[in-house]
Amino acid sequence: MGAMTAHPAPPDGLLPEWAPQSGVLMTWPHEATDWSDQLAAAESCFARIARELTRRVTVLVVCRDDAHAAHVKRVVGDAGGALARVRTYHAPSNDTWARDHGPLTVLRGGRPELLDFRFNGWGGKYPADLDDRITRTIAAQGAFGTTPLESVDLVLEGGSVEADGLGTVLTTSRCLLAPTRNPGAGRVALEGELRRWLGATRVLWLGHGGLEGDDTDGHVDTLARFADPRTIVYQGCDAADDPQRPELEAMARELAALRRADGDGYALVRLPSPRPVRDADGRRLPAGYANFLITNGAVLMPGYNDAADAKARDALARCFPDREVIVVDCRPLIREYGSLHCVTMQLPAGVVPAEA
């Protein structure tokens, strides 16, 4: 497995999502997870994502056992995925949100290093003891080759931080300052932790924004994303009577007031909002378009069979003119309160070995 190391000095910085990637991590659903009542639909969505990814990167899939791994390969193969780019690893799991239990990658001395932060089920909302061990378990199976891996005694989910690759980290106060994550840690202390572990030179905090049905306490990857160091893409709200509108408009004003390190403002790109997506009991689900994944040569964007899907795709295409924007129907994912970015974690170049 990757070497366990301790470093007194901060790393060079958290790699941005658009950096070249060697792999993407996914944890596959099974009948012992919350997906059991819609497992076929969920697997179809996972397989579509995996198919698109295998055209561009290696996909590391966390499976329960050999039988589950064989099943996953059949499903991905039937969907048209390139099985030569699928590697399976075994670990028990509570759920499938790789964005939040997977490792974050920083550069240290120009080389990638993995950080395995604690994951406590978004502040103890759901069981997460198995998911919290996944990164170390698959590292021991060689998933990351010789890439150093360090366990960090800090609760931090990948969906809660955005990096511009130049030292700026964007986050939300409602999530990072939630007392159920790191009790007693205030803003100053957490900024210190982000400097220490992620090499952050600046931390930008959003105090507003949120999607109805969200159970992450406002992950930034559902609200506002860096498209490049000068551009932030954010979730807007179209309907005047939408209960989400006041908070999302307040967030838009916050974003307009933010400044880059050179003092200039950010170019802001507003994403439309889909019509409300509801569960069988009528509860609204946190459907939005900011939960996209940037990968080699492409952006995978969640779709909801809504007229706004095409508008969101066009907006992202303008932000990423050198990448293909691919819409994946994520209605099965949103039924479990997450979307496309939530079920993936990119692994930058140099992390995944060329040979398994």
Model pLDDT, residue 1: 39
Asked whether the predicted pLDDT for residue 4 surpasses 80, the reply is no
Cα dihedral 105, 108, 111, 117 in deg (nearest 10): -20
Model pLDDT, residue 7: 53
pLDDT band at 9 (very low <50, low <70, confident <90, very high): confident
pLDDT band at 318 (very low <50, low <70, confident <90, very high): very high
For the chain, list the domains and their CATH numbers: 13-348 (3.75.10.10)
Q: Once rounded to an integer, what is the mean pLDDT over residues 26-48? A: 96
Identify the residue whose tokens are 């996209």: 292
209: left (phi over 0), alpha (psi -120 to 50) or beta: left
- In one-letter notation, the amino acid at residue 240 is A
Model pLDDT, residue 2: 45
Tokens of 270: 């507003």
Check 45, 175, 319, 342 and give the catalytic one.
342
- In one-letter notation, the amino acid at residue 260 is R
State whether residue 148 is helix, strand or coil: coil
- Residues present in the chain in total: 356
State the chain's mean pLDDT as an integer.
96
Are the C-beta atoms of 318 and 343 separated by less than 8 Å?
no
Q: Is 319 a catalytic residue?
A: no
What pLDDT, in 10s, does the model give residues 321-351?
999 999 999 999 999 999 999 999 999 999 9
Q: Which residues pair with 294 in a beta bridge?
A: 299
- List strand residue ranges (DSSP E) for 102-235, in order: 104-108, 111-118, 149-155, 162-163, 168-172, 202-206, 224-228, 231-235
Strand 293-295 relative to strand 111-118, pairing? unpaired
DSSP structure class, residue 159 = G
Model pLDDT, residue 8: 56
Model pLDDT, residue 356: 66
Residue 87 phi, psi (nearest 5): -120, 130
Asked whether the predicted pLDDT for residue 101 surpasses 70, the reply is yes
Half-sphere exposure of 247 (CA within 13 A, CB side): 14
Question: Which helix or strand (DSSP H or E) is residue 54 part of?
Answer: helix 39-54
Asked whether the predicted pLDDT for residue 108 surpasses 60, the reply is yes
Share of the chain above pLDDT 90, in %: 96
Model pLDDT, residue 355: 79
Are the C-beta atoms of 316 and 231 separated by less than 8 Å?
no
DSSP structure class, residue 217 = S
Share of the chain above pLDDT 70, in %: 97
State whether residue 84 is helix, strand or coil: helix
